[in-house]
């Protein structure tokens, strides 16, 4: 492991010290709304290290998608969305001073536009050899590819969110980006690894490393590292000697220590708390080493409080940007992902995740000392009923579904994870675009 964790060089040690010394002052200035300090080097704010990539829209990546991909005819939904072109023409605006765009640009509100000409998908499926079978929809026989070509266009953000592989690589230079959470965060990790891998000029200088439960993508020529730690509840799930499983609401898994010092931390939790019956991963809840009984909501709230306290005590906000990704929607039952080939265009989606749990997340984030950027991707993802693997996934033997299984979508379709290339690429574009803005702009308000 040590060889993967380059020690801090002398100069970055000094810089880290300088930034942490400044952090109190910076935070004070920020909370007072005095964002003028951002440009100055003495007040090197954490996002300052990301801000220099803010520039022109991603050029088409020149890999000839238009030839390779037969774009399906535009449907009515795409036509409607395309009527609204105001932000797409012309060069990107100059970097906007922090604070100035407040109120106009909400990256998570907007519309999906069909955009195969502007670099979507960000990589071809075949360009990501390490992609896991579960979400490699093309490899598993998905015949349509239109779902790869939609771009999220935030309302009022101009072209500030149009990042491509090259910009992503530049943002990752000399950085450690760490994802912690469930398989949906793994989906997001894998997407970012694919985006970066496809953009690296010399792909032989990259690695996928499995290290004691962590999965790590490294681009050596960029000293860029993207890591995933599986922890679906964030708090510790422990299997006892008698094989019973305890969910310890006041403890975090030891591996969380390994994420310390990362430049970016992206957390999520959600789905596993809603599992019931046989799917429930724990047999009992524990606090102070004792078995306790409480409602699911109360347990969820306690777990998030444990996590929030850990972040507040262990994360240095002058060095690390913290994100919490909102719930990734499933498309089961009423709005079912099977056979869907275009996004929902009329905006009516039945939310499936308990609103009470969403409020618990938002309340806990608001109460934290550490600025946590809420990646509010739930709504934009709800529209992407077309973007799940559906039956183009694998069965329990790890093989693509056979003819018989393909005929039983109710049993076999995966309407929770997302095909790659696909929707999680957009989550990452929004994550990287958020990195270039001060955390206060995107921190939960109110
Ligand atoms: C998340 O985004 C949705 C859709 O844009 C919006 O309705 C909701 O208020 C946002 N939530 C928060 C906490 O910002
Ligand atoms: C490599 O990246 C790490 C962060 O992951 C950073 O601490 C270190 O200083 C970088 N090394 C060099 C030589 O820049
Ligand atoms: C799903 O799509 C396939 C191929 O287009 C079609 O043959 C099948 O009837 C569809 N099934 C349903 C339930 O719509
Ligand atoms: C929205 O579109 C879906 C199908 O895409 C349809 O079932 C639903 O009735 C529509 N809702 C409204 C309000 O138009």
Which residue of 104, 348, 376 sits with most ligand 1 atoms within 8 Å of its CB, as the best mutation to test the pocket?
376
- Close Cβ partners of 375 (under 8 Å, ≥ 6 residues apart): 108, 266, 323, 324, 325, 326, 427, 430, 431, 434
Distance 274 CA to ligand 4 centre (A): 27
The angle formed by the CA atoms of residues 360, 364 and 367, to the nearest 5 degrees, is 140
**pLDDT tens-digit map of 97-144:** 444 344 578 899 999 998 767 688 999 999 999 999 999 999 999 999
For the ranges 16-20, 163-167, 418-422, which has the lowest average pLDDT?
Answer: 16-20
Residue 437 — very low, low, confident or very high, per pLDDT cuts 50/70/90? confident
In the chain, where the domains are located: 106-434
**pLDDT tens-digit map of 273-286:** 988 888 889 999 99
Distance 346 CA to ligand 4 centre (A): 6
The pLDDT of 210-219, averaged and rounded, is 94
With a 6 A CB cut-off, is 34 part of the ligand 2 pocket? no
pTM of the model: 0.80
Q: Residue 52: what pLDDT?
A: 52
Told to judge if 414 belongs to the known catalytic residues of this protein, a careful annotator would answer yes
Distance 361 CA to ligand 1 centre (A): 13
With a 6 A CB cut-off, is 69 part of the ligand 4 pocket? no
For residue 253, the Cα-to-chain-centroid distance in whole angstroms is 21
Residue 161 — very low, low, confident or very high, per pLDDT cuts 50/70/90? confident
Residue 332 — very low, low, confident or very high, per pLDDT cuts 50/70/90? confident
81/117: higher pLDDT: 117
Distance 185 CA to ligand 4 centre (A): 30
- The number of beta carbons lying within 10 Å of the beta carbon of residue 2 is 6
Handedness of CA 77, 80, 83, 88 (dihedral sign): negative
Q: Residue 444: what pLDDT?
A: 53
Q: Residue 105: what pLDDT?
A: 84
C-alpha 373/C-alpha 387 separation (Å) is: 25
Q: Which of 1-5, 80-84, 175-179, 334-338 has the highest mean pLDDT?
A: 175-179
With a 6 A CB cut-off, is 100 part of the ligand 2 pocket? no
**Protein residue with its CA nearest to atom 9 in ligand 1:** 376
Told to judge if 417 belongs to the known catalytic residues of this protein, a careful annotator would answer yes
Contact in structure between 54 and 160 (CB atoms under 8 Å): yes
The pLDDT of 27-35, averaged and rounded, is 35
């Amino acid at each position: 492991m040590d060889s993967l964790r380059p020690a801090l060089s002398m100069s970055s040690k000094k810089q880290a010290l300088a930034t942490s010394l400044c952090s109190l002052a910076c935070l004070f200035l920020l909370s007072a709304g005095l964002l003028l300090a951002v440009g100055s080097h003495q007040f090197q704010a954490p996002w300052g290290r990301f801000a220099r990539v803010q520039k022109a829209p991603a050029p088409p990546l020149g890999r000839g998608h238009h030839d390779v991909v037969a774009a399906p005819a535009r449907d009515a939904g795409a036509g409607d969305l395309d009527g609204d072109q105001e932000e797409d023409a012309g060069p990107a605006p100059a970097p906007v001073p922090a604070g100035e765009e407040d109120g106009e640009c909400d990256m998570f509100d907007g519309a999906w536009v069909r955009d195969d000409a502007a670099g979507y998908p960000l990589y071809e499926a075949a360009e990501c050899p390490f992609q896991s079978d579960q979400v490699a929809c093309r490899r598993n026989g998905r015949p349509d590819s239109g779902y790869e070509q939609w771009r999220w266009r935030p309302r009022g953000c101009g072209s500030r969110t149009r990042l491509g592989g090259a910009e992503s690589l530049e943002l990752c230079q000399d950085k450690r980006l760490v994802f912690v959470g469930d398989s949906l965060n793994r989906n997001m990790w894998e997407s970012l690894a694919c985006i970066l891998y496809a953009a690296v000029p010399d792909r032989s200088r990259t690695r996928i490393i499995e290290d004691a439960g962590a999965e790590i993508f490294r681009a050596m020529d960029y000293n860029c590292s993207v890591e995933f730690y599986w922890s679906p509840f964030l708090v510790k799930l422990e299997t006892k000697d008698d094989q019973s499983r305890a969910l310890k609401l006041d403890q975090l898994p030891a591996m969380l220590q390994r994420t310390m010092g990362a430049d970016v931390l992206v957390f999520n939790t959600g789905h596993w708390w809603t599992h019931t019956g046989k799917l429930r991963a724990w047999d009992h809840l524990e606090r102070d080493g004792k078995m306790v009984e409480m409602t699911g909501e109360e347990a969820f709230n306690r777990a998030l409080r444990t996590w929030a306290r850990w972040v507040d005590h262990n994360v240095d906000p002058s060095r690390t940007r913290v994100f919490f990704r909102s719930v990734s929607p499933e498309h089961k039952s009423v709005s079912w992902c099977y056979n869907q080939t275009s996004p929902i265009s009329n905006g009516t989606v039945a939310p499936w995740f308990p609103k009470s749990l969403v409020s618990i997340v938002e309340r806990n984030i608001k109460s934290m000392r550490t600025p946590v950027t809420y990646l509010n991707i739930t709504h934009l993802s709800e529209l992407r009923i077309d973007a799940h693997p559906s039956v183009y996934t694998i069965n329990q033997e790890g093989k693509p579904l056979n003819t018989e299984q393909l005929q039983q979508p109710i049993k076999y379709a995966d309407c929770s994870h997302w095909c790659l290339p696909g929707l999680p690429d957009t989550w990452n574009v929004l994550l990287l675009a958020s990195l270039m803005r001060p955390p206060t702009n995107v921190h939960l308000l109110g």
